[in-house]
Amino acid sequence: MRGQLAGKVVVVTGCASGIGQAIAEAVAAEGAAVEGVDRQEVRESQVADISDVGDVERVVADIKRRRNHIDALVNCAGIWASGTVVTTDQELWDRIFAVNVRGAFLMSRAVIPSLEARGGGSIVNIASNYGLVGGRNAAAYAASKGAVVALTRAMALDHAAAGIRVNCICPGTVDTPLIRRPMREMVPEEARALTASRLARHPLGRIGTPADIAPGTVYLISDGSSFVTGAVLPIDGGYTAQ
């Protein structure tokens, strides 16, 4: 069904790359007006660091001024870093939480009054399978994504009476620059071993593509999910079923 988001204004963070880019394209293909936000400059999006309160308030005020209303927010921008608690320095820990958790908080806080004024709306947080089960050598990242899952449920309860639904998607490994970048620094055998172990951990026998994540996001924004809130949806090839 095409056009299921016709007339809606949807803000998508992290729209310049990977999953956020696929979501922005899918949301636009369903008839929504997309307002992209990213720290990288791309066509028809706003440059902002979502961890910075001044940037967030500036871009959301600008969207409200130009569009008059906002119907949905997709908190997709995020960063990855490897490390155990022993090998992660404090600055990196704080940066991961600033983007992955504070960013979703600041964007939601700035957008929720517009959703309330509209009589309701939808927020979709992109968390991770690492927010549901442990992942080795990813202590800060996993902790930040666990926080996004908990934040989703807390927000779903706080804003249900205002008609605002808040859900999250937990992707498994998805082929994007986020996973390709660290692999470039590995020796070939290490990269091959990592690829093999990733395939083995996804029962469907492949890793995901950004296009695997976008339709679930469209569903959670659409009126077809009007009785869904506080849901945590793994889209992970079976990774967390084990």
Interface segment toward ligand NAD; rule CB under 6 A; list 26-34, 56-64, 70-78, 110-118: 70-78
Among 81, 117, 133, 178, binds ligand NAD (CB under 6 A): 178
The smaller minimum CB distance to ligand NAD, of residues 18 and 146, is found at 18
Which amino acid is located at 210 in the chain?
P
Among 76, 123, 132, 143, binds ligand NAD (CB under 6 A): 76
Note whether 208 and 20 are within 8 A (CB): no
Exposed, middle or buried by CB within 10 Å (0-12, 13-18, 19+), for 197? exposed
Q: Binding of ligand NAD at residue 177 (CB under 6 A)?
A: yes
Q: Binding of ligand NAD at residue 78 (CB under 6 A)?
A: yes
CA distance 15 to 184: 23
Which amino acid is located at 148 in the chain?
V
Q: Binding of ligand NAD at residue 106 (CB under 6 A)?
A: no
Q: Binding of ligand NAD at residue 40 (CB under 6 A)?
A: yes
Closest residue by Cα to residue 125 from 145, 95, 110: 145
Closest residue by Cα to residue 127 from 198, 73, 78, 72: 78
Q: Binding of ligand NAD at residue 70 (CB under 6 A)?
A: no
Whether 141 is catalytic: yes
> Maximum Cα–Cα distance for the chain, whole Å?
55
* Enzyme catalytic residues: 141
Residues in contact with ligand NAD by CB under 6 A are 13-14, 16-20, 38-40, 49-51, 76-79, 99, 103, 126, 128, 171, 173-174, 176-179
